[in-house]
Structure 1
Amino acid sequence: MKIKPLPEEVINKISAGEVVERPASVLKELIENSLDANSKKIEVFIEKGGKKLIKVKDDGVGIYPDDMINAVKRFNTSKISSADDLFALQSYGFRGEALSSISAVSKFKLISRTLETPTGNEIYIEGGKLQYFRESGSPLGTTVEVKELFFNIPARQKFLKSEKTELIHILDVFSKYAFIHTDKSFSIHIDGKLLYNFYPSTLKERLLKIIGKEFEKDFIEIDYEGTIGIVKGYINLASVYTKKKYIFINKRPVRDFIIQNTIKELIGDKFYILFIDLPSYFVDFNVHPSKQEVKFVKESSVINLIKSALNECLNIFKKKTISYSYKENFESHLKQTTKKYETSKFEIIGQIEDTFLVAYYNEEVYFIDQHVAHERIFYELLMKEYLEKGEIPSQKLITPAVLKLTPDEIQKLKILENKLNKYGFSFEIEDTKVFLTGIPYNMSQFSAENIVRDILETGNLNASAEEIFSQMACKMSVKAGDKLDKEKAHALIKQWLETDNPNLCPHGRPIYYKIRLEEIKKKVGRL
């Protein structure tokens, strides 16, 4: 067969596969372009999880009319001009691939005006083909609209997750850049409704607006300068396990499993947000088109920098008076968690909204979240089984289930397969297909498939048994809205009361709320 060059249209689609994985990766590229344009205000508009629309509007310097066509061509950029520039990057973009790749797989509109031009200009591209280029009324800055992502590649469209899942990834991207650039205004509209509107503020103020004010009390600030760089940010040692963990290197969000593991060894699965500043020559972002993977001149030096920063922070924390109150609270919590109940005296009163079980015990009324109570039961059963036997028993499926996974997810599964085998999952992995052949006992096939997808979507290849079992317990448990008859309610309550920690679910949520009968009587004038 004769070898021949690929058509430009095919090349663009292949390139788009590396740069554009999902709506969130489009948003990432557009926000970075806005930041590189010295924008002070960035507005984001999302519809249908980004599948229908991703729109980013900024007040940056804009694009000159003569550059509009070049802006959507491959390997055209205003940000570098020589190979040496790759080792002294001052901008987010530098490959000149993003807009070309995005416009190749969407209905793409770019509107822009500079300070020097009296009117704006508009370019519209469909599936990589220019439809028109014309003058257009526009304020100073640039607006990019990306509609119907992957409309011309149905196979890629099918691999997109639900609108809810895609939106989670979009908000993650939005949050990261809002954290990095607290000196700028950011807003995001979801399906026509304003979700966040941030004005310039401190990192802590913006952090609390996004992750919740409940984290504020136990924030510990990091401000450390080492020989090769600076580490700043916050950790929260009192937080329960959370997926909210952020690492930024030279103002770029990055994924680095070695750094993540280093932090985990020191503080466990707690919240953290770290900003690491290194000399530009020390780090290479030109590893992958996504620019979220990095290489270091000397990785061990970076690891030592992070360890030193965290150790200094932890030592200062221990010396503070707050450490004593934290210790007292922790010891009090331990005493509380070891409290045992006389299950025979627990009187089930009923169920509210098929979500909360109501019970009476020892002059107190309990409102018990049936889902998280059941989670605690399954979590401890799984942990006990795993600690005693080193694995979770598996049940074979009569008919293996076909898992629709992306090539990237299949690679992750290959890495995780041995670990997941120990947790009761078994697979047959072919080049482009994956069959789920075995699932943990007591788990439905539907739940098992969802857990595998969740694990692969998070991308955490180093997830601990505790983290995986938390996810498994969640999927195995009764849900809010499930009606329980008295027999099932009694069985659930009995098992829950016999757990080692009946107060918190594996994710750290309280399982119940209780109020003394005496307090109720006071409220209604009985006392």
Structure 2
Amino acid sequence: MADIIKLLPDHVANQIAAGEVVQRPASVVKELLENAIDAGATTIKLIVKNAGKTLIHIIDDGKGMSNTDARMSFERHATSKIATAEDLFKLNTKGFRGEALASIAAVAHVELKTKPDGNDVGTLIEIEGSTIINQEVCATPKGTSIAVKNLFFNIPARRNFLKSNNVESRHIIDEFQRVALAHPGIAMSMYHNEGELFHLPSGNLKQRIVNIFGGKTNEKLVPVQEETEIVTVDGFVIKPEFSKKTRGEQFFFVNDRFIKNAYLNHAVSAAFDGLLPDRARASYFLYLKVDPKTIDINIHPTKTEIKFDDEHSLYAILRSTVKHSLGQFNIAPVLDFDRDSNLDTPYDYKNKNALTPKVEVDRTFNPFANVAPPKKGAQLPKHEKQNTTGWEKMYEGLQSKPSADGGDFSSVSFESDASNTDIFVGAETSMRTENGMNNAFAKAESTTYQLHNKYIVTTIKSGMVIVDQHRAHQRVLYEELLRNITVKESVSQQLLFPLVLEYSTSELGLILQLKEGLENTGFAFGKMEDETLEVTGIPTSIGEGQVPIVLEQLLSDLENEVPDVGFSQTDTLAKSMAKSMAVKAGESLDDLSREHLVNRLFACKEPSVSPSNRTTFITLTGDELEKKFK
């Protein structure tokens, strides 16, 4: 039998490794930024063109590489970070597997310029698809400059799987922010298509957060700090009143490495229990320092998942630490929230001992001293018996026949607690009466009823219809918004005073991309700069107080995907706005509103399903009802 197992060529092995390491342009940005940090850089510049598909260029002032090291850095499993297997359990660097540069060079054109401190000239290396096409000396400043061009040029299928430029740009910004937040002492800047997005000077953690997410973030931060034998916790949480429905501002760092951990996220959410608005999520920037021996980083190719030795202890410490900080800064109510401040001990009496009051008692006091004693042989007074003669006269004039003015005992009504036993809440039923008896089968004035403030019940020729009011209203608003955006005939109500809202740079960029669609729904915008958005007009179907909710829901729906310009973008916009503007379950509707909603629903093109393809109504025929009573 012939041998069938063969050793893969290097270029094939590198492309396989690239499938794990290089998933999209943001993966290249992450690996190269981490290499610059491991090189001891104090200033890092990131230049991106065409969302990283055309160019990703990173320049740092680190220690640089020699001629031999520059060549070896592109070999598989070549690294300066570890030497033995034991080093994997005490990692203090970002990268350690030695596959990043080899994998990137396998699927792109790479140009590397590097020079260590003390050398007169540096090294230039040009690689195309794992093949070195040029190596020579060059003049370059201290540090390393690496440019990745034409990503996936030799794998068209992988390039076709990339999303739109808007989506890929957001992923690059996310990776840049994560690295920048983990290392506030390093000055970092980012340029996209020759426009500067971020300019972050070196500083402390709070300054870095404010520089990334805007100056208004400063007042939202609550410091968190705790040091134990297991873990040291540092960072900030966002005050509950500024929480959002998105997960955008949730950052965990372990030993200066960004991670994702649902278990620890639950610990923070548990600390905010009872403080967050409905469906809002806790926002935080938390930094954990643990012994490298107690964690395993090498369980995921992107190294964003970490395995802890003692997760339960971390959970308890993190939860109590965040809860303590919220209480310490009067964010969460303390146990003695009804305490009267007037009862506090003044500072002047703080160190004084309490004096026991002296109570003097007159033991010779006799309360009966001045009362004359009763005479001998006297009897105590007796109660006189009341005269009950002629009691029948009290009832004179009362006959069993009804009087002329209707004073009949048969019409006496007794006061009792009001009880509502109607199944259909909100239905005003006017029942016909006959011979003083209620007719239980009399027809009600309204043809629609509201059940549990969630469903609308109405009759049809064949039986009855039960409508989910929230989903039905979503369908009605969705088709109306689609029509307005397409036809561009929406009506806008101008605000007397413009509404000024605050968003981060990335969130403002998303709204700017959807500005035309929002304007077609009835929104009107003023200035959009300096992380503020000025709203001068709103659709007639929403109130001024709903504007932040509508836009926040839109940002939440666009968190993971920004659709291209076209119908997909319009569809996402209409779905998101319909979901936030629709009447919610639990809201009571009057007769006119119920009937109007039902009529508008059945006038839609697709009344049977909501925009998210969920059932809006069900029907029960007369035959189905009869079977229920058999």
TM range (shorter): 0.5 to 0.7
Conserved 8 A contact 1:238-1:270? no
Q: Which one-letter code corresponds to 1:308 in the other structure?
A: S
SS of residue matched to 2:302: coil
Q: Which residue of 1 aligns with 2:617?
A: none
Q: How does 1:248-287 map to 2 (within 5 A)?
A: 248-267=253-272, 269-287=281-299
SS of residue matched to 2:301: coil
Distance 2:322 2:538 in 1: 37
Distance 1:473 1:315 in 2: 39
Q: How does 1:60-71 map to 2 (within 5 A)?
A: 60-71=62-73
Alpha-carbon offset, residue 355 of structure 1: 5.3
Q: Which residue of 2 aligns with 1:290?
A: 302
Q: Which residue of 1 aligns with 2:315?
A: 303
Conserved 8 A contact 2:221-2:236? yes
Q: How does 1:125-204 map to 2 (within 5 A)?
A: 125-204=127-206
Conserved 8 A contact 1:107-1:127? yes
Q: Of residues 41, 44, 50 in structure 1, which corresponds to 2:43?
A: 41
* Structure with greater helix percent: 1
The verdict on how the C-alpha distance between 1:8 and 1:216 changes in structure 2, with shifts beyond 3 A counting, is same
Alpha-carbon offset, residue 193 of structure 1: 1.4
TM (norm. structure 1) is 0.64
Distance 2:30 2:541 in 1: 35
Q: Which residue of 2 aligns with 1:312?
A: 324
Alpha-carbon offset, residue 297 of structure 1: 1.2
1:202-255 deviations in whole A, cap 9, x for unaligned?
211221121122322231110111230111111112213132111100000011
Q: Which residue of 2 aligns with 1:474?
A: 576
Conserved 8 A contact 2:491-2:522? no
Q: Of residues 221, 235, 239 in structure 1, which corresponds to 2:242?
A: 239
Alpha-carbon offset, residue 158 of structure 1: 1.3
Conserved 8 A contact 2:200-2:212? no
Distance 1:20 1:158 in 2: 14
Which is worse superposed, 15-24 or 264-273?
264-273
Alpha-carbon offset, residue 17 of structure 1: 0.7
Conserved 8 A contact 1:317-1:323? no
Q: Which one-letter code corresponds to 2:538 in the other structure?
A: D
SS of residue matched to 2:328: helix
Distance 1:47 1:132 in 2: 24
Distance 1:70 1:18 in 2: 21
Conserved 8 A contact 1:13-1:104? yes
Q: Which residue of 2 aligns with 1:77?
A: 79
Q: How does 1:371-386 map to 2 (within 5 A)?
A: 373=542
Q: Which one-letter code corresponds to 1:280 in the other structure?
A: P
Distance 2:84 2:71 in 1: 22
The verdict on how the C-alpha distance between 1:188 and 1:372 changes in structure 2, with shifts beyond 3 A counting, is farther
Alpha-carbon offset, residue 132 of structure 1: 0.9
Distance 2:12 2:24 in 1: 19
Alpha-carbon offset, residue 194 of structure 1: 1.6
Distance 1:371 1:200 in 2: 47
SS of residue matched to 2:225: strand
Q: Which residue of 2 aligns with 1:111?
A: 113
Alpha-carbon offset, residue 280 of structure 1: 0.8
The verdict on how the C-alpha distance between 1:294 and 1:143 changes in structure 2, with shifts beyond 3 A counting, is same
Q: Which one-letter code corresponds to 2:258 in the other structure?
A: P
Alpha-carbon offset, residue 369 of structure 1: 2.6
Distance 2:202 2:269 in 1: 31
SS of residue matched to 1:45: strand
Conserved 8 A contact 1:75-1:97? yes
Q: How does 1:355-394 map to 2 (within 5 A)?
A: 356=522, 368-370=537-539, 373=542
SS of residue matched to 2:241: coil
SS of residue matched to 1:182: coil
How many pairs were matched up?
372
Percentage of matched positions with identical amino acids: 32
Q: Which one-letter code corresponds to 1:370 in the other structure?
A: P
Alpha-carbon offset, residue 368 of structure 1: 4.8
Q: Of residues 221, 225, 248 in structure 1, which corresponds to 2:227?
A: 225
Distance 1:231 1:11 in 2: 41
Conserved 8 A contact 1:106-1:126? yes
1:444-489 deviations in whole A, cap 9, x for unaligned?
xxx9xx97xx67669xxxxxxxxxxx9984165799xxxxxxxxxx
Conserved 8 A contact 2:492-2:523? yes
Conserved 8 A contact 2:38-2:93? yes
The verdict on how the C-alpha distance between 1:455 and 1:206 changes in structure 2, with shifts beyond 3 A counting, is closer
Q: Which one-letter code corresponds to 2:296 in the other structure?
A: D
Q: How does 1:391-470 map to 2 (within 5 A)?
A: none
Alpha-carbon offset, residue 373 of structure 1: 3.6
Q: Of residues 5, 9, 31 in structure 1, which corresponds to 2:33?
A: 31
The verdict on how the C-alpha distance between 1:357 and 1:232 changes in structure 2, with shifts beyond 3 A counting, is closer
Alpha-carbon offset, residue 265 of structure 1: 3.0
Conserved 8 A contact 1:356-1:367? no
Q: Which one-letter code corresponds to 1:277 in the other structure?
A: K
Distance 2:89 2:197 in 1: 38
Conserved 8 A contact 2:184-2:208? yes
Q: Which one-letter code corresponds to 1:124 in the other structure?
A: E
TM (norm. structure 2) is 0.54
Distance 2:540 2:520 in 1: 10
The verdict on how the C-alpha distance between 1:106 and 1:279 changes in structure 2, with shifts beyond 3 A counting, is same
Alpha-carbon offset, residue 196 of structure 1: 1.4
Q: Which residue of 1 aligns with 2:469?
A: none
Distance 1:168 1:89 in 2: 30
SS of residue matched to 2:160: helix
Distance 1:205 1:455 in 2: 25
Distance 1:372 1:27 in 2: 44
SS of residue matched to 1:318: coil
SS of residue matched to 2:148: strand
Which is worse superposed, 205-214 or 61-70?
205-214
Q: CA RMSD in A?
A: 3.6
The verdict on how the C-alpha distance between 1:186 and 1:22 changes in structure 2, with shifts beyond 3 A counting, is same
Asked which structure has the greater CA Rg, the reply is: 2
SS of residue matched to 2:233: strand
The verdict on how the C-alpha distance between 1:287 and 1:9 changes in structure 2, with shifts beyond 3 A counting, is same
SS of residue matched to 1:30: helix
1:367-395 deviations in whole A, cap 9, x for unaligned?
65339949969x99xx9xxxxxxxxxxxx
Q: Which one-letter code corresponds to 2:243 in the other structure?
A: V
